[in-house]
């Protein structure tokens, strides 16, 4: 074989390591230790079968050629040179003679000229890729640096990659006992990144990640280094004497930097970031322990409203463990009859009952009644919302059949129910099975539904309209509140978020906003429901401005099916208020 003595020594080292580990006979021995060596290797080494399809990948090789990790990928997929007949013939000779073969080929992305050294081992064909030596007019050291950079850095953002992060953190933690420096791990997750991908496309998402990486880098000083961990997740390792204050200041700087608008294709894009912070030794002495602590802190930051930083503490772990317990219990709650529905009246002043909103509740055998804000997100994340949503709809429609035909029933639809692709079929079946008139059924959706798979979800809404049911846009005035939604779909009504109702009688800004919503909705032929009405002054103001329907504790808290029937009776007698 040709090649430098260094490359020959490298081949002999890997060949000896593999043959010693697996045995010259190549028996099907446990490959765990070999896989672990490969995982931590920075060298561009891999193994494949005689069909050239990869069986084992080294860490450096996986980073330099990410497509090699795809199921069933082959050497000729990433280096097309290996598909040429002359190279195939050379490899046939390798199988017979056992000599190493050198194949020159450029890197498919960088164009760097490389040599692939192919040799036989007990694990199959080994492949070591190195920059080609003595290239005319080019520096061998520069070629080596380019390959090393490719293997250790994320190709999209230019930040160091996940593998380097793990090695760096492990090294720092191992030396903590000999240093006065404290180490902080910052786990950063972007808020609302999915909405950018869904509305502007993955190209815009990639451009946004590059801009995010640049802002994170600009926020760091010489004591901190940033990494792209995965997707829209980034990490920062900070070593400083003044912990925890230094890490908290850095986290706030990063959050502030990412809160400012980005410009992509001339369009202003707003996202944010949540940060979880954990400290070496205090919260974990290994990479895995510290990552877990930072992840838990990040989850707490997102649960508390996002756009903030939280430092790990044991209370977070206890909360997460209790949440996991709820997750397990929720899977059986529906079948054990623990879920039930309450109904909150929707009235037209003075007191004319036009409907009820169905509100899901969970009576846990040990924890008592659990608020929906606690378990709905669990149901959505675990794929339970479609089944639960069908049950709520059928239960609410069945209960409504016992009320006068002039009283409607409103049911909330989760974004998760749209993703199943079965929503309209399920609604049609329930309407037929229960026998309720479609005109009595109202669906309330939030703008989150319209941000996810916009065209598919709009098609679903149009189909629901064809069934005869009414669709209302809930929590209007918060979130994006795009007027394009009102143009693309004929909603039956809007629900004004209680945020604008809370100080309505004293805040001129809230009054102006609510008047504007009323004028807009009525101009488009839609009804308006005010949520969260709690005082006489709020109700009187809304009545003067011709708000169509009121809902809130002033009228009634959520009640049982029996109490709902009693409320209807009292309303008819003029005593409900």
Q: How deeply is 425 buried, as exposed, middle or buried, from its count of CB atoms within 10 A (0-12, 13-18, 19+)?
A: exposed
Report helix, strand or coil for 328: helix
Question: pLDDT at position 98, please?
Answer: 60
Confidence of residue 28 (pLDDT cuts 50, 70, 90): very low
Report helix, strand or coil for 354: strand
Buried residues in 533-549 as b, exposed as e (16+ CB within 10 A): beeeebbebbeeeebbb
Question: pLDDT at position 564, please?
Answer: 95
Right CATH for 5-152 from 3.30.450.20, 3.40.50.920, 3.40.50.450, 1.10.3720.10: 3.30.450.20
Q: What angle do CA 103, 108, 114 make, to 5 degrees?
A: 35
Is pLDDT of 513 > 60? yes
Report helix, strand or coil for 396: helix
Topology match between the domains 5-152 and 162-312: no
CA–CA dist 282, 278 (Å, integer): 8
Q: What is the DSSP letter of 265?
A: T
Among 110-119, 282-291, 467-476, 532-541, name the one with the lowest average pLDDT.
110-119
Confidence of residue 441 (pLDDT cuts 50, 70, 90): very high
**In Å, what is the CA distance from 359 to each residue of 312, 330, 429, 498?**
34, 17, 21, 17
Query: % helix / strand / coil in the chain, to the nearest 5?
Result: 50, 25, 30
Q: Residue range 442-448: average pLDDT?
A: 88
* Tokens at 308, concatenated: 């903030």
Q: Residue range 258-286: average pLDDT?
A: 90
Averaged pLDDT of the chain = 84
Other beta carbons within 10 Å of 77: 18
Other beta carbons within 10 Å of 165: 23
Contact 397, 431 (CB under 8 A): yes
Reported in sequence order, the residue ranges of 336-454 that DSSP labels E, i.e. its strands, are 339-348, 352-364, 368-370, 408-412, 441-445
- pTM, whole model, 2 decimals? 0.54
Is pLDDT of 443 > 90? yes
Name the superfamily (CATH) of residues 162-312.
Answer: Reverse transcriptase/Diguanylate cyclase domain (3.30.70.270)
Residue 348 or residue 478, greater confidence: 348
Among 125-139, 342-356, 381-395, 508-522, name the one with the lowest average pLDDT.
125-139
Q: Residue range 252-269: average pLDDT?
A: 91
Question: pLDDT at position 158, please?
Answer: 86
**Bridge pairing between strands 272-279 and 267-269:** unpaired
Domain boundaries, the chain: 5-152, 162-312, 330-573
Residue 332 or residue 21, greater confidence: 332
Question: pLDDT at position 133, please?
Answer: 56
Concatenated DSSP letters of 521-575: HHHTT-EEEE----SHHHHHHHHHTT-SEE-STTT---B-HHHHHHHHHHHHHT-
**In Å, what is the CA distance from 418 to each residue of 9, 415, 464?**
59, 5, 12
Is pLDDT of 160 > 50? yes
Question: pLDDT at position 314, please?
Answer: 82
Among 55-64, 100-109, 338-347, 391-400, name the one with the lowest average pLDDT.
100-109
Closest by alpha carbon to 213, among 195, 222, 226, 203? 226
Is pLDDT of 436 > 90? yes
Question: pLDDT at position 410, please?
Answer: 97
The percentage of residues in the chain with a pLDDT greater than 90, rounded to a whole number, is: 38
CA–CA dist 412, 531 (Å, integer): 14
Confidence of residue 281 (pLDDT cuts 50, 70, 90): confident
Residue 137 falls in which region: left (phi positive, over 0), alpha (psi -120 to 50) or beta: left
Question: Residue 470 is inside which H or E element, if any?
Answer: strand 470-476
Confidence of residue 7 (pLDDT cuts 50, 70, 90): low
Question: pLDDT at position 25, please?
Answer: 41
Question: pLDDT at position 346, please?
Answer: 96
Residue 236 or residue 21, greater confidence: 236
Q: What is the DSSP letter of 469?
A: -
The percentage of residues in the chain with a pLDDT greater than 70, rounded to a whole number, is: 87
- Report the DSSP beta bridge partners of residue 86: none
Question: pLDDT at position 135, please?
Answer: 46
Confidence of residue 495 (pLDDT cuts 50, 70, 90): very high
Contacts with 455 (C-beta within 8 Å, 6 or more apart), sequence order: none
Is pLDDT of 450 > 80? no
Question: pLDDT at position 320, please?
Answer: 76
Is pLDDT of 2 > 60? no
CA–CA dist 11, 140 (Å, integer): 19
**Bridge pairing between strands 352-364 and 368-370:** antiparallel
What are the backbone angles phi and psi of residue 46, rounded to the nearest 5°?
-150, 165
Is pLDDT of 540 > 80? yes
Fold classification of 330-573 is TIM Barrel (3.20.20)
CA–CA dist 454, 334 (Å, integer): 30
| Upstream peptide bond of 151 is cis (omega within 30 degrees of 0) | no
Report helix, strand or coil for 482: coil
pLDDT tens digits for range 29-58: 456 767 777 876 777 889 988 888 998 888
Question: pLDDT at position 4, please?
Answer: 53
CA–CA dist 426, 339 (Å, integer): 20
Is pLDDT of 576 > 50? yes
Is pLDDT of 75 > 80? yes
Residue 406 or residue 200, greater confidence: 406
Q: Residue range 138-151: average pLDDT?
A: 57
| Upstream peptide bond of 244 is cis (omega within 30 degrees of 0) | yes
């Amino acid at each position: 074989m040709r090649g430098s003595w260094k490359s020959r020594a490298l081949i002999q080292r890997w060949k000896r390591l593999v043959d010693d580990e697996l045995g010259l006979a190549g028996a099907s021995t446990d490959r765990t230790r070999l896989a672990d060596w490969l995982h931590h290797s920075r060298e561009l080494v891999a193994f494949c079968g005689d069909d050239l399809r990869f069986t084992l990948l080294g860490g450096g090789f996986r980073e330099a050629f990410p497509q090699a990790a795809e199921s069933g990928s082959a050497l000729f997929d990433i280096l097309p040179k290996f598909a040429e007949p002359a190279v195939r013939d050379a490899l046939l000779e390798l199988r017979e003679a056992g000599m190493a073969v050198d194949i020159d080929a450029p890197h498919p992305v960088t164009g760097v000229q490389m040599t692939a050294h192919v040799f036989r081992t007990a694990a199959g064909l080994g492949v070591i890729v190195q920059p080609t030596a003595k290239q005319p007019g080019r520096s061998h050291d520069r070629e080596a640096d380019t390959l090393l950079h490719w293997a250790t850095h994320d190709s999209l953002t230019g930040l160091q990659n996940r593998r380097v992060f793990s090695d760096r953190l492990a090294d720092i933690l191992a030396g903590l006992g000999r240093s006065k420096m404290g180490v902080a791990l910052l786990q950063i997750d972007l808020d609302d990144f999915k909405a950018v991908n869904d509305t502007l496309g993955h190209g815009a998402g990639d451009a946004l990640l590059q801009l995010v990486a640049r802002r994170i880098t600009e926020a760091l000083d010489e004591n901190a280094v940033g990494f792209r961990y995965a997707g829209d997740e980034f990490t920062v390792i900070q070593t400083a004497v003044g912990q925890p204050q230094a890490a908290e200041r850095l986290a706030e700087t990063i959050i502030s930097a990412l809160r400012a608008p980005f410009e992509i294709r001339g369009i202003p894009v707003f996202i944010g970031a949540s940060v979880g912070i954990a400290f070496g030794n205090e919260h974990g002495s290994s990479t895995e322990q510290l990552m877990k602590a930072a992840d838990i802190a990040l989850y707490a930051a997102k649960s508390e409203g996002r756009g903030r930083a939280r430092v790990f503490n044991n209370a977070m772990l206890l909360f997460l463990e209790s949440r996991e317990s709820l997750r397990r219990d929720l899977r059986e709650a529906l079948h054990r009859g623990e879920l039930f529905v309450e109904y909150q009246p929707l009235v037209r002043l003075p007191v004319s009952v036009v409907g009820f909103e169905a509100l899901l509740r969970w009576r846990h055998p040990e924890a008592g009644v659990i608020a929906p804000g606690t378990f709905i997100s669990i149901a959505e994340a675990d794929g339970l919302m479609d089944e639960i949503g069908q049950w709520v709809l059928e239960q609410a429609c069945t209960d409504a059949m016992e009320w006068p035909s002039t009283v409607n029933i409103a049911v909330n639809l989760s974004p998760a129910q749209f993703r199943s692709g079965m929503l309209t079929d399920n609604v049609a079946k329930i309407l037929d099975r229960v026998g309720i008139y479609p005109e009595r059924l109202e669906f309330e959706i939030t703008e989150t539904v319209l941000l996810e798979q916009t065209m598919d979800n709009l098609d679903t809404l149009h189909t629901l309209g064809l069934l005869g049911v009414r669709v209302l846009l809930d929590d209007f005035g918060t979130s994006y509140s795009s007027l394009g939604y009102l143009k693309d779909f004929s909603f039956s009504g809007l629900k004004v978020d209680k945020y604008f109702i809370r100080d309505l009688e004293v805040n001129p800004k809230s009054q102006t906003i609510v008047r504007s919503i009323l004028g807009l909705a009525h101009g488009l032929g839609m009804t308006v429901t005010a949520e969260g009405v709690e005082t006489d002054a709020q109700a009187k103001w809304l009545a003067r401005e011709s708000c169509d329907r009121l809902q809130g504790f002033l009228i009634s808290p959520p009640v049982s099916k029996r109490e709902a029937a009693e409320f209807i009776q009292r309303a008819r007698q003029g005593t409900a208020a």
